[in-house]
Amino acid sequence: MIQAGAVLTVDMLEAAAEPVKVSFEEEVAERVRRGHAFVGECLSGERPVYGATTGFGPLVTFDGRDSQEDQCDNVLQHLTAGQGAELPPEVVRATMLVRIRSLSRGLSGISPAALEMLSAVLQTDFTPVVPTLGSLGASGDLVPLAYIAQSLRGVGDARLGGRKMPASAALAQAGLEPLTFTGRDALSMVNGTSVTSAAGGLAVAKLRRSFESGLHLSALLTDILGADGKFLAPSLLDAFGHPETAGAGKRLRDLLQGSVPSGDRPLQEPYSVRCVPQLMGAARCALDWAGGVVERDLNGVSDNPLFFPDENLIAHGGNFFGQPSAFATDMLSIVATQMGNLAERQLDLLVDPVRSNGLPPMLSPRPGAEHAVQGVQLVSTAIVASMRRACVPASVQSIATNLHNQDVVPFGTQAALAALEQAQNLRLLHGSLAVGLRQAAHLRKDRPTAWPCADLVDALAQVVAPITQDRALDADVRAAADVLDQFVADRLP
């Protein structure tokens, strides 16, 4: 169970992929009721309220529709224009949770019924079908959120039990009644950056695990190569002046407990071994900053206008402008890609007999007759190239639109979705490297000398068999990535 008034974390976002109950504490429920009543008072008088008494966007100078229900219908219908592939279900469901958190602050004037409907659908596996393309990350994620709102009233498509069907049928099968929007319910649903925050939060969760996976794999590589861990000397790393680098070095020393160098490696290892603490320390620093920004977004209020009953204030402003997460998730893409560069180079080192301390080419038990991880390395190279191409920042691609009402936009949604894809690709790179390291450990015959590294090999060996004869390895890579996720989650410091 998740409490609507509690601090929202990225772990909660991941939990929302499955049915989850959201409870409303009495304090939260009272805030929502009070905010909704205040909006009702404002609408019953002569006070202008954007989107409730006016048109939308640059048409704010014109009157809106006379009926509240018609006005709600108007905002949703004209925004139902998205294109492209479907958003992943985990993103859509996390988005609904983020929207609940924002709306439960009581500053948007949403009706209790609309908020309860969001909670009710999250308790089932009902998932609106939402297209990827449409949001600018300014004025909120208007288009994708409109699809979510439409599905709650039985319009459009949704998935239930993994099957795509009309949203009306999915609601009926889930035992839910379609929602009728009134007041500013519809605008409250769409006028926030919840898709951006949700995708960014999911990317943060994955990258935090991948950071640990990268350290574990780097330690295992160091052990299998027989490298000397002197490059992890505390005094050396402290002198670098970056505490995150010293922290990464300590973590690597912990993971290399019991390691015995072979004594026949070069005086200085390649950078993909020797500079791991410096690279991963910088990744930790950037990940902490970006993750902090995204988590603040998860718990903020993104909407316009906001309503403050105690001040008798309707505040029109720009709290739907997703620039913070746009910058942060662009940084997440960069972090993911550089960690991917490291993993790909480490696999390249491992398959090269000139640099791997006697391991056969491509880790093949019979080079030429068997090709072992050759295909895995080719795919890893392709993944890295794709990640590098996706690193072009979205947060600076501003294009004026909407009759120049939106004359500068952050494109945070595209940045966040790119970061999530980068995080997923990094998992596959780590899975590829893990398959290679498991094969290298098999060929070495001796168990890794560091006990934490031996534990990781044992875990991988349960799902990845030794390559004695060439076989398809695509499923092995994905299985290894899953093992890494669970292995590091169980051992997070």
Claim to verify: residue 234 and residue 185 sit in the same structural domain:
no
- CATH number for the domain harbouring residue 321: 1.20.200.10
Task: Please answer whether residues 250 and 234 qualify as being in contact, where contact means their C-beta atoms are separated by less than 8 angstroms.
Answer: yes
Residue 419 has φ and ψ, to the nearest 5°, of -60, -40
Please confirm whether the linkage preceding 305 is cis (ω < 30° from 0): yes
Element (H, E) at 83: strand 83-86
In the structure encoding, which two tokens stand for residue 142, read together? 């208007």
Claim to verify: residue 261 and residue 128 sit in the same structural domain:
no
Residue 171 CB-density burial (10 A; 0-12 exposed, 13-18 middle, 19+ buried): buried
The tally of domains found in the chain comes to 2
**Catalytic hit among 50, 56, 126, 321:** 50
Claim to verify: residue 170 and residue 231 sit in the same structural domain:
no
In the structure encoding, which two tokens stand for residue 320, read together? 């739907």
Residues 6+ apart with CB under 8 A from 200: 294, 297, 325, 328, 329, 332, 412, 415, 416, 419, 420
pLDDT tens, residue order, the chain (493 aa): 899 989 999 999 999 999 999 999 999 999 999 999 999 999 887 788 888 888 888 888 888 888 888 888 999 999 999 999 999 999 999 999 999 999 999 999 999 999 999 999 999 999 999 999 999 998 889 999 999 999 999 999 999 999 999 999 999 999 999 999 998 999 999 999 999 999 999 999 999 999 999 999 999 999 999 999 999 999 999 999 999 999 999 999 999 999 999 888 988 999 999 999 999 999 999 999 999 999 999 999 999 999 999 999 999 999 999 999 999 999 999 999 999 999 999 999 999 999 998 899 999 999 999 999 999 999 999 999 999 999 999 999 999 998 888 889 999 999 999 999 999 999 999 999 999 999 999 999 888 999 999 999 999 999 999 999 999 999 999 999 999 999 999 987 7
- Residue 183 φ/ψ region, left for φ over 0, alpha for ψ in the -120 to 50 degree band, beta for the rest: left
Claim to verify: residue 366 and residue 384 sit in the same structural domain:
yes
Task: Please answer whether residues 315 and 400 qualify as being in contact, where contact means their C-beta atoms are separated by less than 8 angstroms.
Answer: no
Residue 412 CA: distances (Å) to CA of 152, 194, 398, 428, 429: 25, 11, 10, 25, 25
User: Pick from 175, 276, 145: which is nearest to 220 by CA?
Assistant: 276
In the structure encoding, which two tokens stand for residue 204, read together? 């943060």
Claim to verify: residue 250 and residue 171 sit in the same structural domain:
no
Claim to verify: residue 179 and residue 249 sit in the same structural domain:
no
Claim to verify: residue 299 and residue 423 sit in the same structural domain:
yes
- Give the residue numbers spanning the domain of 308: 199-489
Claim to verify: residue 165 and residue 181 sit in the same structural domain:
yes
How far out from the chain centre does Cα 157 lie? 24
In the structure encoding, which two tokens stand for residue 103, read together? 């709306």
Claim to verify: residue 41 and residue 96 sit in the same structural domain:
yes
Last residue within a domain, chosen from 173, 192, 211? 192
With helix as H, strand as E and coil as C, how does 178-223 read?
CCCCCCCHHHHHHCCCHHHHHHHHHHHHHHHHHHHHHHHHHHHHHH
Residue 270 CA: distances (Å) to CA of 239, 342, 356, 412, 426: 21, 11, 11, 37, 21
Q: How far apart are CA 149 and CA 77, in angstroms?
A: 10
Q: How many CB atoms lie within 10 A of CB 312?
A: 11
Say what the pLDDT of residue 174 is.
97
Say what the pLDDT of residue 48 is.
87
In the structure encoding, which two tokens stand for residue 6, read together? 């509690």
Claim to verify: residue 188 and residue 236 sit in the same structural domain:
no
Claim to verify: residue 281 and residue 133 sit in the same structural domain:
no
Say what the pLDDT of residue 56 is.
84
Residues 6+ apart with CB under 8 A from 245: 237, 277, 278, 281, 282
Instruction: Name the maximum alpha-carbon separation found in the chain.
Output: 84
- CATH number for the domain harbouring residue 118: 1.10.275.10
Is residue 50 flagged as an active site residue?
yes
Claim to verify: residue 90 and residue 172 sit in the same structural domain:
yes
